[in-house]
Amino acid sequence: MKTIRLTILFTLLIVLIGFLVWTGCSKEKIEIINPENVSEEIDQSADPQLKAGNNAVMIQTFTLFTERWPDIQSKASAWGNAGFTMAWLPPCSRSADTYGYLPTQWYDHNNWRGSSSELSSCISAIRNAGMTPIADIVLNHRNGNETAGADFVNPAFADNAAAVTSTDECNCGTGGPDQGTDFNGGRDLNHNNSSVRSLSQEFVSHLMSLGFGGGRYDMVLGYNASTASSYRSSGFNVGEYWLNDRNAINNWANTAGMNAFDFPTYYALQSAINNNNYGALNGLPGLIGINPGRSVTFAGNHDTPSVGLLGLVYIMTHPGIPCVAVDEWYSHSGAISTLIGIRRSQGIGQTSSVAVQTATSSVYAAIIDGNTAMKIGPGSWSPGTGWTLATSGNNYAVWTYGGGGGTGGDGMTVHAYDYTHIYFWNASDGSTTSWPGEQMTSEGGSWYRYTFSSASSTNLIFSNNGSNQTSDLYREGDGWYYDGSWYSSQPNTDDGGDDGDDDGGGDGYASNYSSMYLRGTMNSWGTTAMTLVGDNQWEVTLNLSGSYEYKYDAYGDWSTNWGDNNADGYADPDGANITGTFSGSVTFRFNDATLAHNSSGAVSGDDPPADDGGDDCLEAGERCSSDSDCCSGDCSRRRCR
């Protein structure tokens, strides 16, 4: 029997060696980057992260300054239809700030975003749209109820002073040293304290009982990974471990049993796209390169500026769970919907394999799972024959293998939004035209089309009879050109809301609201409609003489309005009336993304004059959008530090 067993084992060994030799000889000369440590460090069959699903795509539904519960609810169906599977909602507890990140009463769900009943309706709408609502859970720190100290209520801890670390800057805590990094925005909770831990766990369970299906944990650098593990919800969990160190993030995520936001991938994208250094992406430098099943990738969020559409193309075609910021959705909803469709149809998931083809100063290109190719950057690259262009735009393209893009056959039709003429050259059938080209056929709704009877590819430029021309473009097969990008099917040109209008309308500009009004003593607190003149930028010009009070109102019903509490040029939700003295023609300007506001023609008052182009920096405490805005060079949570 022993001889028979040895013979069988020897035979199996020979077969295995032969198979390995055969597969080794038949491989293409492409180095596949299979993410490391997945099978060794994660039991994929049992890990809580997989509650998200392999096709998971998340949207962050808010900015610090915009989106109340009804606003989020109104967009839920559009996000669900686009293919998002999870919706990250803002903090829902009563808070000392309007953002929700300085919570006071955990169990009071009436805050600037709206009432507790509106929160409940919003959660239901998210679920009805086929998405899992994710709670933003702030456990690292907390503010007192009446003061900035330790007067905690709803709930109070067994000993409020002992619930605060002794190292907190308030000098009001007796709880011993902090488990992690100090946070200067609120009272650092002592997570070694049994009351803090038990009440934190109860609060997470309470949030799940409201209908949330998981949590995004804020500032997890403030307590250790073992503590974070004890706070996990029963659903999907992701932590904000804000370091540009993938090994540290990986260690934290594995110990906590959570996913983590992939900050190293974000910073690599920032270097590649903002600094023309696409070599920074070589070798998958983020968490997706060593543990993609734990990675949540992003191109920007409420704390970090977006790197734009090229970053979204990268995260949508690479492993990890892509997370899209709501302002990115407003700017690129059509392209994002197309990319989600490609990701799903090609089976790209959390642990897909990546074969980097090139990563130079001007271009990054990769093949994912052997069936999807992509490139970003101004440099040229093509996957070769057998591939079909699925979508493309300025400095990016995505192909699928064996189908799924343009028609690729004889003849094609191209469609353009808000362009009336097409100029083309190097068409595959040899056809050409002279500038400014051929007038296209109107399809209604600002769409125009041109059909090539035999050409299946061409270089081209769209224009309005020679003016407002695009850059040099290329198209293979049928395609729709909108907002700087190509699509394989007609994109949605509105914001995806269920009112049928584009959000703010107005010449295709992006905005967070479909309308905006100036209301004040100059119109007896009536409504004077403002005009969208650029992305998120509203204006109205009036002839005035005298002193006035006024505010900005999104819908003309005071449900979403802004004043200015400290005359810093950035509006505050439900803020104090803005005051000003004017003489002559006055233009009022309001940005519904940054909440910056100003006016030309102001003699004096709260509303600052229009920017004169100077380089004045912002002082500590003033609202900011990037580090460069601040005199200190530190913009954190949209405030200069």
Of 293, 305, 283, nearest to 364 by C-alpha is 283
Look up residue 176 and give its two tokens. 């011993």
Altogether, the residues listed in the chain come to a count of 641
- Hey, what are 218's tokens? 């804020």
β-bridge partners, 239 = 217, 260
CA distances (Å), 222 to each of 190, 219, 236, 266, 551, in order? Answer: 10, 6, 21, 21, 38
Instruction: Please confirm, yes or no, whether 476 is among the known catalytic residues.
Output: no
Tokens representing residue 532 in the block: 């969208």
Tokens of 597: 């506001």
In angstroms, the CA 19 to CA 14 distance is 9
Tokens of 24: 């080794």
Cα 95–Cα 622–Cα 311 angle in degrees, nearest 5: 85
Q: Are 452 and 437 in contact (CB under 8 A)?
A: no
- Catalytic member of 71, 178, 218, 606: 218
Choosing from 178, 240, 483, 495, the catalytic residue is 240
How far is Cα 42 from Cα 46, in angstroms, rounded to an integer? 9
502 CB-near residues (< 8 Å, 6+ apart): 493, 494, 495, 508, 514
Are 294 and 42 a contacting pair, CB within 8 Å? Answer: yes
Mind giving me the DSSP string for 235-294? SEEEE----S-HHHHHHHHHHHTSEEE-HHHHHHHHHHHHTT-GGGGTT--SGGGT-GGG
Q: For the chain, state the CA radius of gyration.
A: 27
The bridge status of strand 597-605 relative to strand 578-591 is antiparallel
Task: Give CB contacts under 8 A, 24+ apart, made by 197-202.
Answer: 197/227, 197/230, 199/155, 199/157, 200/139, 200/231, 201/230, 201/231
Least Cα distance to 136 among 261, 247, 227 occurs for: 261
Is 438 catalytic? The answer is no
Axis-axis angle for helices 263-274, 246-256 (nearest 10)? 150
Q: What are the residue numbers of the active site?
A: 218, 240
